[in-house]
Structure 1
Amino acid sequence: MSLPLVYVVDDEQPMRESLRFLLETVRLQVKTYESAPKFLSEFDPELNAVLVTDLRMPGMSGIELHEHLYRNGHRIPVIIITAHGDVPTVVRAMKQGACEFLEKPFNDQILIDAIQRLLEQDRERRIKAEANRQVAQKLRSLTPRELQVLELVVEGRINKQIASELGVGVKAIEAHRARIMDKMQAESVQELVRMMTLLRQSPEYANPLRPSY
């Protein structure tokens, strides 16, 4: 995974330079932009990153930038900074998932702590997303019948109950379960249940047992 990155978007050059200097003193990688469009032209959603953006900028504001990212499925953590904060703006930002909202002048250490915390949260989110992607990929190798059996196994049914519900013999269910465990690379039923539970909790895979996988 690439080194974590802090994107800074602010139309005021002194603020951009000040934030770059501050963050580089704690060995953070920083890229600065004077406008939201310039940032979007280089934004890489695959990177472990945090966005620090001013609220009020010409053209696309910090709130509008965050909403644009959110609408397009990008969950990069966002810190919105402003000298003009007000309650309705804060509420709007928080509803869209903004992680922090800081008013100028802000305490440097508070900003640094927030960035480091959000970078770690983003890193953990990406690790879980990759694990879920791999599980979803394995699910695609299952047959429709194996998906049915898997769903019932995850629900806690024993072989005899599954056989009765699907109208097949217990030996057939045992064979299906063995193939499922092999394809899913699960060492135990408990591990299989854990994998599926984590996958179901992910918004990208709300219905992971549908045959489309």
Structure 2
Amino acid sequence: MQNVQVKAESSAEPIVYVVDDDEEMRGALLDLFMVTKKRATAFPNGMEFLQAADTNAAGCVVVDLRMPGGTGLDLQKQLISIGSKMPIIFLTAYADIPTSVRAMKAGATDFITKPFVNQDLLEAVDHAIQLDSERRKTDAEGDRIRGLADTLTPREKDVLWQVVSGLMNKQVAYELGISEMTVKLHRMSVMRKMESKSLADLVRKAELLQKSA
């Protein structure tokens, strides 16, 4: 098995996983990533990749579409099934439009036909890593906001959803069967616990909560 890490840097640095049954191609890709100062590791098939790789690592996967013992699409399905969100770039020697559409619909970030221009692949990898970084930031922010929401009492949550729906305090009081003063107190508590200094920020956080529900 060729499993060569071309840079021994911090594991926090994004990694490019190469999965290709062609040994010459694996070596060429590792060389390409080495000279462009990217951390990379290669595997000859999906099974060895899944056994040894950190599928939750920051980075992306560059995988050959057609490999004996399991295609790139098979690997994509397995990654999805285990909850991995690593971006995938497919390499293929065949211009198979239906397959490429299927791969992209399943979440692939790019589909590159061999032989390819090195710069095109490098740009695809940079784009995939950027998307992964942005997704991780969004996930982290979602986790933080869910943590804030968990500190709300049931009544405060009721007030939160009424307020972000656009209702005024008087309307919220009517809907919940409580006094307007009680609504005001709950609203102040919600703003404090959700760390929001404006209604716009509270609405943004509520939208993230709904998306992650």
After TM superposition, the score normalised by the length of structure 1 is 0.90
Q: Secondary structure at the match of 2:143?
A: helix
Q: Report the secondary structure of 2:90's partner residue.
A: strand
Gaps of 5+ in 2: 1-10
- How far the C-alpha of 1:144 sits from its partner, in A, is 1.4
Cα distance between partner residues in 2 of 1:78 and 1:3: 17
List runs of 5+ in structure 1 lacking aligned partners. Answer: 208-213
**1:14 is paired with a residue of what secondary structure?**
helix
What does the per-residue CA deviation read over 1:111-143, in whole Å, with 9 as the maximum and x for residues that have no partner?
000100111111011101100111011111212
**Paired position in structure 1 for 2:46:** 36
Matched residues, number: 203
Residue of structure 2 equivalent to 1:194: 204
What is the deviation of 1:82? 1.3
Offset at 1:39? 0.9
Deviations 1:139-184 (A, max 9, x none): 1121211111100111111111100110000111111112111211
- SS in structure 1 of the partner of residue 115 of structure 2: coil
Partner of 2:75: 65
Q: Match for residue 84 of structure 2? A: 74
Q: Counterparts of 1:45 and 1:150 in 2: how far apart (Å)?
A: 37
Whole-Å separation in 1 of the counterparts to 2:65 and 2:107: 15
Deviations 1:43-93 (A, max 9, x none): 324322110001111212111101111233322111110113312221221
After superposition, residues 90-105 of structure 1 pair within 5 angstroms as 90-105=100-115
Q: Tell me the amino acid that sits aligned with residue 110 of structure 2.
A: E
Tell me, in whole angstroms, the C-alpha distance in 1 between the residues paired with 2:48 and 2:105.
25
Work out whether 1:123 is the aligned partner of 2:133.
Answer: yes
2:21 — aligned with what?
11
Hey, what does 1:87 align to over in structure 2? Answer: 97
Of 180, 191, 195, the residue aligned with 2:190 is 180
Percentage of identical aligned residues: 38
Q: Is the contact between residue 56 and residue 84 of structure 2 (CA under 8 Å) also seen in structure 1? A: no
Q: CA RMSD in A?
A: 1.5
Between 1:42-51 and 1:176-185, the stretch displaced more is 42-51
SS in 1 for 2:66: coil
How far apart, CA to CA, are the structure 1 residues paired with 2:168 and 2:192? 18
**Residue 51 (str. 1) matches residue 61 (str. 2):** yes
Question: Aligned letter for 1:42?
Answer: A
SS of the residue corresponding to residue 124 of structure 1 reads: helix
CA contact 2:55–2:79 (8 Å) conserved in 1: no
Matched residue type, 2:143: R
Deviates more, 1:141-150 or 1:102-111: 141-150
> Any idea what SS the aligned residue of 1:168 has?
coil
- Report SS of the residue matched to 2:127: helix
Greater displacement, 160-169 / 45-54: 45-54
* Matching residue's letter, 2:164: V
- Separation in 1 of the partners of 2:91 and 2:138? 29
